[in-house]
Chains A and B, each alone.
Chain A
Amino acid sequence: MTTVEAPKAPSGPKRQGFSRWLVPTVLIAVTITWLVPTLGLFITSFKSRAASSQYGWWQIFQGGWTLDNYNEVLFSPDLPPPGFADNFINTIIITIPATIFPILIAAIAAYAFAWLDFPFRNWIFLGVIALLVVPLQVTWVPVLKIFNTFNLTGTFPGIWLAHTGYGLAFAIFLLRNFMADIPKDLIESARIDGATDVKIFTRIVLPLSLPAIAALAIFQFVWVWNDLMNALIFLQTPDKFPLTVGIRNLLGQYGNEWNLLSAGAFVSMVVPLIVFFALQRYFVRGLTAGAVKG
């Protein structure tokens, strides 16, 4: 029998000697190193071209601040079509369904894996897990061919399907594991009460799985928002490109317009950053489970 000495708030031994300052110093050095690149970008996005070529990036207060870069990158007609503002909208159009669909489809499949009985259930699930790690490169050509055949290339529904298909393995993995942890008694007593599987799913399993669904939604959202390759390959029409492709094109034409580029990069970062800061907990949860994401 263990004795709990309450209240336990151990303060531990004092750090001795030189290690007292070593730890904070190293940590701060690393943290600053990590922060500087983004910071530099941020600063550059608020400076005019003239100011940037005159003063170094660390001279934050010289040369004045301006919002022109943001203005230009979002609304200027000179930029490669469709313009960043449209890219932004496209990203939204792409991301939201591409987050919802995988969750829906994965949820019902996960429920089946967790609580329904059918032959080869474990083997098929193992197969799903195997798919988790398949590099997408190996699928591009055939999928593109299918898309072309069904006229899905360059359409929003097409990219929604692609993101859904590619995101399913991870989503099923995450949700099924969570659902399997629901106490068996709940399910069984519902069955005995005569509930159909659909009812059990909607009334019991789904509500209880909300934390996992939330984590998955956030993770998938950020993942799709930041996606480049799928958009490049399956969306080929410029007026539908999301922010990531927009940045790439910007780089192509305006490779040295750093002020413009940094503003553009930041426009693409805003939403994921907000999501991250507001919902850190869920994000991390999705990430740790997603260490295997394809």
Chain B
Amino acid sequence: MDGLTKIYEDGTLAVGELDLTIEDGEFLVLVGPSGCGKSTVLRMIAGLEDISGGEMHIGERLVNDMAPKDRDIAMVFQNYALYPHMTVRDNMAFGLKLRKTPKAEINQRVEEAADILEINDFLDRKPKALSGGQRQRVAMGRAIVREPAAFLMDEPLSNLDAKLRVQMRAELERIHGRLETTTVYVTHDQVEAMTLGDRVAVLRAVSAAKPYNLQQVGPPYELFDNPVNLFVAGFIGSPAMNMVYATLERDGEDLWASFADQRLKVDPYAIERHPGLENHTNEELVMGVRPSSMEAAEIAGADPDRAIHMTVEVDENLGAESYVHTTLDARPVVTPDIEELLADTGQTAESLGDSTEFVARISSDIRVQTGQALEVVVDTAKLYFFDPASGDRVGAKATATAAT
């Protein structure tokens, strides 16, 4: 996809300047909050939406004006879109029948797909007699049977209950491993994105300031470790990365990040990862640190340079680890990126109040109580610094484009 644009009839820009290349056989996930245009992009690949600008190629061919039926792709819809008046078998065979595939071959392919998905028992039932999970499998079976060049999946798991979703995720991985078909997968759930994708592309809605959707694309660990801006940093990872306004201070040879009433010494590795960080001394930046980059001082060993003193307000003990919440006496970070992320969960800037929430992960071996004072050690190599105005990570390349 090259400079791909999509403008709706009422003039809204839905997709702007999208450049993305999808490799053969890879599982690419398009992820982002509601309204970011990911489904639109998928539908443009399918041919269900017109392309307003730019070019799309499948293989060598320019496919901008090609009808969906000629693109050799199969799609799995969010609501399954099964043909209600046909049996499961007929649903799956439909595409092949249209292409005048010989009956014997149709039957063979249907049986094979049914085996993979374990739906042999309901081949002769109609969709309304099936449960959600079963319908989901049939929808996938319909796609598999076609043996297309690529699968397109539009939030296929979002209508399933949590447990089923986890199961199906594993199924999808298994199937992808077996069939190795190129897959483009759309979801708003970043957990799904991280677990399923070979590469993940983070998209956001276009805005006047940034008329492009794609923020970053790369393997999951790269988005986690090296987010290119506040949006990606805040979107990927659960619980979300902590963000706080911090001022960089120079103390002799060291660089310190000072926030609320605390300060941390920035590890040289972190400085290396943010080229030009020193130029921002005495400026206020947004500092990000993931809850998982912390541990209780009791276990990690005390280190005054890297310690944060917090008063426990909420303690979530999950068994294997605990998440400890506190509030820092600093105004909350509010930038356009953050506002968008908040909107996705139904919050607004006002709902944050005037202090910053901060979450630390500690081993569950430590028992904490509300109101208790706790010292937490931060892995300061994993500090991130962002420009508060643009949201970009200090020293990162300009975003938007992401080739291979």
A contacts B directly in the complex (CB < 8 Å)? yes
- Of the candidates A1, A9, A10, A14, which one forms a contact with B158 in the assembled complex, judged by CB atoms under 8 Å apart? A1
A13 touches B48 (CB 8 A): yes
- B35 within 8 A of partner (CB): yes
Contact flag A3-B68 (CB < 8 Å), given A10-B49, A11-B8: no
Residues of A within 8 A of B34 (CB): 3-6
- A12 within 8 A of partner (CB): yes
Number of A-B contacts (CB under 8 A): 48
Residues of A within 8 A of B197 (CB): none
Task: Report Cα–Cα, A10/B49, bound state, in Å.
Answer: 7
- B47 within 8 A of partner (CB): yes
Task: Report Cα–Cα, A16/B9, bound state, in Å.
Answer: 19
Total B residues in contact with A, Cβ cutoff 8 Å: 24
- Of the candidates A5, A9, A14, which one forms a contact with B35 in the assembled complex, judged by CB atoms under 8 Å apart? A5
- B50 within 8 A of partner (CB): yes
- Of the candidates A2, A3, A9, A13, which one forms a contact with B9 in the assembled complex, judged by CB atoms under 8 Å apart? A9
| Interface residues in B108-164 (C-beta closer than 8 Å to A) | 155, 158-159
Contact flag A6-B9 (CB < 8 Å), given A12-B49, A13-B48: no
Contact flag A13-B50 (CB < 8 Å), given A3-B34, A4-B34: yes
- B292 within 8 A of partner (CB): no
Residues of A within 8 A of B326 (CB): none
B159 touches A11 (CB 8 A): no
- B183 within 8 A of partner (CB): no
A13 touches B68 (CB 8 A): yes
Total A residues in contact with B, Cβ cutoff 8 Å: 14
Task: Report Cα–Cα, A13/B50, bound state, in Å.
Answer: 5
A16 touches B67 (CB 8 A): yes
Q: Look across to chain A and name the residue whose beta carbon is closest to the beta carbon of B66.
A: A16
Task: Report Cα–Cα, A136/B189, bound state, in Å.
Answer: 63
B35 touches A11 (CB 8 A): no
Task: Tell me how far the C-beta of B60 lies from the nearest C-beta in chain A, rounded to whole angstroms.
Answer: 21
Q: Look across to chain B and name the residue whose beta carbon is closest to the beta carbon of A16.
A: B67
Task: Report Cα–Cα, A34/B84, bound state, in Å.
Answer: 35
Chain A binding surface SS class: loop
Q: Look across to chain A and name the residue whose beta carbon is closest to the beta carbon of B188.
A: A3
Q: Look across to chain B and name the residue whose beta carbon is closest to the beta carbon of A10.
A: B49
Task: Report Cα–Cα, A72/B10, bound state, in Å.
Answer: 53
Residues of A within 8 A of B38 (CB): 5
Residues of B within 8 A of A13 (CB): 47-50, 67-68
Task: Report Cα–Cα, A67/B328, bound state, in Å.
Answer: 88
A3 touches B50 (CB 8 A): no
| Interface residues in A246-280 (C-beta closer than 8 Å to B) | none
Task: Report Cα–Cα, A1/B187, bound state, in Å.
Answer: 12
- A7 within 8 A of partner (CB): yes
Residues of B within 8 A of A4 (CB): 34
Q: Look across to chain A and name the residue whose beta carbon is closest to the beta carbon of B155.
A: A3
Residues of B within 8 A of A7 (CB): 8, 10, 12, 35
Interface string of B32-45 (1 = CB under 8 A from A): 00110111100100
Task: Report Cα–Cα, A16/B69, bound state, in Å.
Answer: 11
Task: Tell me how far the C-beta of A14 lies from the nearest C-beta in chain B, rounded to whole angstroms.
Answer: 6
Task: Report Cα–Cα, A176/B155, bound state, in Å.
Answer: 43
Q: Look across to chain B and name the residue whose beta carbon is closest to the beta carbon of A7.
A: B12
- B65 within 8 A of partner (CB): yes
Task: Report Cα–Cα, A165/B261, bound state, in Å.
Answer: 87
Task: Report Cα–Cα, A9/B11, bound state, in Å.
Answer: 10
B67 touches A9 (CB 8 A): no
Contact flag A9-B10 (CB < 8 Å), given A1-B158, A1-B159, A3-B155: yes
Residues of A within 8 A of B37 (CB): 5
- Of the candidates A1, A3, A11, which one forms a contact with B49 in the assembled complex, judged by CB atoms under 8 Å apart? A11
- B78 within 8 A of partner (CB): yes
Task: Tell me how far the C-beta of B41 lies from the nearest C-beta in chain A, rounded to whole angstroms.
Answer: 11
Task: Tell me how far the C-beta of B206 lies from the nearest C-beta in chain A, rounded to whole angstroms.
Answer: 13
Pull 11 A–B residue pairs with CB atoms less than 8 Å apart, ordered by A.
A1-B158, A5-B35, A5-B37, A7-B8, A7-B12, A7-B35, A11-B49, A12-B48, A13-B48, A13-B49, A13-B67
Shortest Cβ-Cβ A-B pairs, 6 listed:
A9-B8, A6-B35, A3-B34, A16-B67, A5-B39, A3-B188
